[in-house]
Structure 1
């Protein structure tokens, strides 16, 4: 019937249709007239990217800043409102772009791009992002401004670059392609220094594709991918633009190693923080982390906030250290009002679990956090309750990265009190907990790094220690001459300290600018904080015993002591020369040992590497004791091993990592306890058991020899210790 009615009045229907078309055509013409103004297109672009905006915000962003231009801006905005390209929310008094406005903006962009193609000119897709006509003057400006090149020379380079670009016969250029061409011309003319200043840093597309293809292996999901990409950029910047060329070459050649190179010039490695200082001087984040809650340090009257405060503190500080955060003064907060052992255990476990979500910059999950427990300052029941709470955290976390440090008054106190704590300590070690024991020696991180160098420290201390020297390489190049070896080591310490001094200034500048807000807002550190510079030595056993040929049965320990004393004395003298008093030498574990061993194997052959060590894939780091060695009956070997640890530890001003490996005793609880007790004469040590964790299901295995997960059958197993 409806069709018949239309057929009945064909002239009237056609007239109506013509009227609609004429009205639509008029509307289109009006919209095109709106598009004819660059100012109105700019307003649409601003609202599309930053809206909704108030009248004054939009006016300012559109560039109409003077009072004289107010009428002009109002005219353009009124035009957009009339054509329904922009809408006003009267309740909020904010302007927003409509769907029709977005369509018009998209059409304008397509017309602009097509006109560029038809014009035959060359245009550049910039990183802002925008499309601009190619302008060689911008190359000259970059050469002068970024590379500090003389103007006349910049003109000559630009002329050659321009000739190359016009030969490309491309419609669209990119800013990265232009920069690559400039750098190519600079290299051809031998201007490597200028090229390094202009180089674009980042990952090639193939690396990004590989990262995304293997995203299932990213331990912390998107955080791992983003961290890996950003660290690649900062690592490249460090080696090309920050470090002197000779130091960068030493790192690349494997003579020294810079660990955590992606964060090396940004944040410290270890932070020692006494939180009791905050009771008078609160940590002030100021304008940083505005989405993070501000709360005072839990005191005597509000210790119920302990769990929340600890998780916030660890989450913030984990962003500001690459290796470890050591917290003093935490335990008194929970023990001030909480007296029941069950409640102490429960609250401590809850606080640690809440803190376990803290961010990480590395694949290995660093930085770790260590909470100090003054074992001699609290009763046995309270300490046992804290250990019980830590056990709950360890049992619920496949790879823990929060550890505890039990601190005793002196060796006698440790040996007397340790027997009350041995059972829970042994259980924690078997479960994969991170626990260290120390006495009478000043505070240390779980890595073995000292807080105080020659008695110099404050409440808050940061250390810069992630630079290691390859001792086996030096020993091999010294033709088995111990004196020549020590002379070469002394020469290596000078550039190592120079690199760390550059790093100290860079980190201090970023702290001053507030880039690490928890440290920047710590008035105790700003007023009297200490920054320690520490050089790490790798492969001491291989260099002295295997390459130089001074085995432990003859004069090996004597030669090692001479080597360490030389390094400490030279570092101290060189530190005084550059005005640094807090300079030390350490032997700790980092990521350099395997890299050094691999590079030396490639350089000198695998036969050389196998002749220097039992494990041909890595070098020794710090000192390692084995539990079964300490328990050998009628053998003086255990006593001599402990004496060696004591003598080396006494020499190293920066710290020593002493690991007690009780993996072989893990199934025998009694023997494991005896081994820990036998090592209690050492000022600092960390007992540990090597375990396997499944990368697929996240379950922990009690045996380090398993090739497949006993729960899901996966072969993707991760060794932790």
Structure 2
């Protein structure tokens, strides 16, 4: 047999049988293209591709054929797709699905659409509101005038330059973010930095998002934690570039001062003091807000009381970035004091429910219940037992207690309190109205009303000392100069939060403060590293002379706060409490002045926050002890409060903790015991003592 030349294969096309097959295939392709000529039929395929399988009525509704008049039209289109095998019907389930051929045709249609755009020579923009639009330079002009407040002539000039660059690139694939980058680049090149800030797009780079997803095991609150972290990043960047006065923003970025929770700065207050008796008696009434939250009337039973308490507390902690201090728990429970075992069980359960509320960070907002221990001893004991139950089964508690011992002795309850501390509970001991961080309530006259504290502003005292050439007068002058613009920014913050609250962003606060007309707002300035600044960098000893200098510095801060507050019409107080600023300041100063310059002034890992006492030394202390005198002196001088941390060594058991807190109660105005309890990060086991590995799951990853 002779082999045929490859070119001779074309002769087969003359074969009537083979020609029939090709003609049939060609006809089938033409039929498919004719079916695809209808936008309605393409829509049906797209819907089935993304939503299917669907019933006849579901598909008809999603495709937009909702009236009875259109039923025949829909049936006609669906029949065409069925005949060409682009759609199939599962007869047993009575559902329609897209076939593999249908998916192929749909994909081809998409490719044809994109290629036609490219071949047309036109440029299309993928917008941020999920659409594709033809490029129109007039939209750039409109955006420059509307968003950036540019004069029309300048907007036209900038747009012309941007348009030239876009056409120069000869790309058909444009996005709105790419165009905005080009606009901002031209604005910077032409010296319009302020306009560029107004037009900046805020958000995370793709790399940062990938990193967050890669390290998702470090996110403690699931998807909510991811979204919160991302959202706060956007609002924080917006605050620094667009909201804060430039000098205050620069002071924050350089480390002269620090803003905690920058992403929440303009949205939420930091600490809120409320009386839950008033809130609960009114019932849960949020008017038109949080429509998915159950409305409850004024409680008439213990069950309904705890339902209201858990709902209200969970909502309240959404409206503060750091802490909600709630007074009146003993008062609302007095009515049901005949059944203490039931109160204990249901209150512990209520605490557990509150702990599942939304959180803005790793640990979220602390919900603190203030308990005065001078009345209702049995009820107070029941509340403490309920809190102990909660702490025992919660690795990282997000609820705290503030134990007011002004007219009572800690020793009456020290046994259960020491057990709670050993388990890692949050307890603040105080004589008077303070938060768990030692922050004084700004308004002490009207205790029944809601009081709001705006803090989150800390001043780097060692930085001021480094820049003052060991001159304490110049040091205090620099402090005054830094405080004035910072307080002006805090006053603006107050106005922004008040405005957003009035407009319904924080409905519980809006309702409870009569839309910010009732209650009070206090601005707080926090001093970080004052002891290092005076005793170390300025060169004074920790003696009478050094104490006088510290007193002068604190008084300067209080005088400036009072004077500036009077000008602005605001109440301003000064405090020394904990903040994430301490580690940031010491790190930045180490980079600026050298780590050696910092290390011999710092006791511990970072600058001081308030006062730290060792619980192991309490037994030997007396009212004349230097540390006790210093702590009580600071507490007296600072009008915003002082955090005194009583560090509990790992080796100290409950009986030793009991003696330490009893002694501290005799000597101090307020204090907060701190004990690190090991927690297994794999299984969540919490024990007073965990060796190198978890006793349950054998994991070596232990949090302390």
Q: TM-score, normalised by structure 2?
A: 0.86
Structure-1 separation of matches of 2:107 and 2:624: 80
Flag the 1:511–1:45 CA change in 2: closer, same or farther, 3 A: farther
Judge conservation of contact 2:484–2:564 (CA < 8 Å) in 1. yes
Is 1:614 aligned to 2:603, yes or no? yes
Contact 1:85-1:98 within 8 A present in 2 as well: no
Could you say if the C-alpha distance between residues 530 and 707 of structure 1 is closer, same or farther in structure 2, counting changes exceeding 3 Å? farther
**CA distance in 1 between partners of 2:695 and 2:195 (Å):** 57
What is aligned with 1:141?
A: 142
Give, in angstroms, the shift of residue 692 of structure 1: 2.7
- Partners of 1:497 and 1:519 in 2: CA distance: 23
Change beyond 3 A, Cα 1:714–1:547: farther
Report what 2:133 is aligned to: 132
Does structure 1 residue 652 correspond to structure 2 residue 638? yes
2:485 to 461, 486, 495: 495
Distance 1:470 1:127 in 2: 41
Corresponding residue of 1:34: 38
Aligned residue in 2 for 1:414: 408
Are the counterparts in 2 of residues 453 and 583 from structure 1 also a CA contact under 8 Å? no
Match in the other structure for 1:325:
324
C-alpha contact (below 8 Å) 2:274/2:448 kept by paired residues: no
Secondary structure, counterpart of 1:444 in structure 2: coil
Is 1:353 matched up with 2:352?
yes
Judged with a 3 Å threshold, the aligned counterparts in structure 2 of structure 1 residues 315 and 31 are, in CA distance, closer, same or farther, namely: farther
Equivalents in 2 of 1:192, 1:283: separation in Å? 49
Give me the whole-angstrom Cα distance separating, in 2, the residues matched to 1:26 and 1:358: 60
Question: What does residue 376 of structure 1 align with?
Answer: 374
* Aligned twin of 1:402: 399
Distance in 2, matches of 1:454 and 1:494, equals 25
Partner residue of 1:530 out of 505, 517, 520: 520
Indicate the RMSD between aligned Cα atoms, in angstroms: 3.5
Alignment of 1:276 with 2:277, yes or no, is: yes
Structure 2 equivalent of residue 476 of structure 1:
466
Q: Does structure 2 conserve the Cα–Cα contact (< 8 Å) formed by 1:457 and 1:530?
A: no
Corresponding position of 1:7: none
Q: Alpha-carbon deviations, 1:678-719, whole Å to 9, x = none? A: 333433221221233232222234359x66555545454333
| Structure-2 separation of matches of 1:330 and 1:105 | 63
Q: 2:593 aligns with which of 583, 590, 604?
A: 604
Change (3 A) 1:636 1:501: closer
Q: Does 1:565 align with 2:565?
A: no
C-alpha distance in 1, partners of 2:50/2:269? 37
Question: Structure 1's 362 and 86: CA in aligned 2 closer, same or farther, altered over 3 A?
Answer: farther
Whether 2:671 is the aligned partner of 1:685: answer yes
Find out whether 1:521 has 2:511 as its counterpart: yes
Q: Distance in 2 between matches of 1:448 and 1:653?
A: 11
Secondary structure of the structure 1 residue equivalent to 2:181:
helix
Change (3 A) 1:85 1:651: farther
Q: Is the 8 A contact 2:162 2:183 kept in 1?
A: yes
CA contact (8 A) 1:597 1:618 kept: yes
Deviation at 1:667, TM superposition (A): 2.6
Deviation at 1:43?
A: 10
The CA deviation string for residues 113-149 of structure 1, in whole angstroms up to 9 with x for no partner, is 2321221222111122111111111111111111000
Q: Any idea what the Cα deviations from partners look like across 1:147-169, whole Å, max 9, x if unmatched?
A: 00011111111111111112222
Any stretches of 5+ residues in structure 1 without a counterpart? Answer: 1-13, 65-69, 88-96
Match of residue 433 from structure 1:
425
Shift of the 76–135 alpha-carbon distance from structure 1 to 2, 3 Å rule, reads: farther
The corresponding residue for 1:367 is 365
Shift of 1:632: 1.5
Q: Which moved more, 1:308-317 or 1:264-273?
A: 308-317
| Residues 281, 298 of structure 2: 8 Å contact kept | no
Unmatched 5+ stretches in structure 2: 1-17, 82-94
Deviation at 1:318, TM superposition (A): 2.0
Query: 1: CA distance between counterparts of 2:186 and 2:382?
Result: 68
- C-alpha distance in 1, partners of 2:49/2:435? 51
Work out whether residues 405 and 438 of structure 1, in 8 Å CA contact, stay in contact via their aligned partners in 2: yes
The DSSP-based 3-state class of the residue aligned with 1:327 is strand
Please give the alpha-carbon distance, in whole angstroms, between the structure 1 residues aligned to 2:140 and 2:516.
42
Alignment match, 2:440: 450
Q: Paired residue for 2:388?
A: 391
Give yes or no for contact 1:203–1:233 (8 Å, CA) kept in 2.
Answer: yes
Q: 1:396 to 1:291 in 2, by over 3 A?
A: same
The CA distance in 1 between the partners of 2:326 and 2:45, in whole Å, is 52
Contact 1:414/1:680 (<8 A) preserved? no
- The aligned runs of 1:202-281 (5 Å cut-off) are 202-278=203-279, 281=282
Distance 2:579 2:634 in 1: 19
Distance 2:42 2:507 in 1: 40
1:632-680 CA-to-partner distances (Å, cap 9, x unmatched) read 17x6653x43332222112222222121222266236146424433333
Cα distance change on mapping 1:47 and 1:100 into 2, 3 Å: closer
2 CA distance for matches of 1:692 and 1:613?
26
Is contact 2:623-2:667 (8 Å) kept?
Answer: no
Q: Report the TM-score, using the length of structure 1 for normalisation.
A: 0.84
For residues 151 and 398 of structure 1, the distance between their equivalents in structure 2, rounded to whole angstroms, comes to 59
Q: Which residue of 2 aligns with 1:6?
A: none
CA distance in 1, matches of 2:356, 2:171: 49
- Alpha-carbon distance in 2 for matches of 1:255, 1:623: 22
Rounded to whole Å, the distance in 1 between the matches of 2:357 and 2:80 is 44
Within-5 A mapping of 1:544-583:
544-580=534-570, 582-583=571-572
Instruction: Report if the CA contact (8 A) 2:650-2:676 is conserved.
Output: no
Over 3 Å counting, the alpha-carbon distance change for 1:320 and 1:78 in structure 2 is farther
C-alpha spacing 1:490/1:558, structure 2 compared with 1 (3 Å): same
Offset of residue 186 of structure 1? 0.7
Alpha-carbon distance between aligned partners in 2 of 1:131 and 1:627, rounded to the nearest angstrom? 66
Which residue is 1:717 aligned to?
702
Give, in angstroms, the shift of residue 267 of structure 1.
0.7
Q: 1:74-117, CA deviations, whole angstroms, 9 ceiling, x for partnerless residues? A: 98886445313999xxxxxxxxx975699798776544323212
Distance 1:191 1:405, change over 3 A: same
Structure 2 CA distance for aligned equivalents of residues 192 and 321 of structure 1: 34
Alignment check: 8 A CA contact 1:161 1:181 kept: yes
Cα deviation code 1:196-220 (max 9, x no counterpart): 1111111111111111111122112
Contact 2:235 2:262 in 1 (8 A): yes
Partner Cα distance (1:404, 1:85) in 2: 69
Query: 1:489 & 1:518 partners in 2: Cα distance?
Result: 37
Shift of 1:49: 9.9
Q: Distance in 2 between matches of 1:579 and 1:48?
A: 62
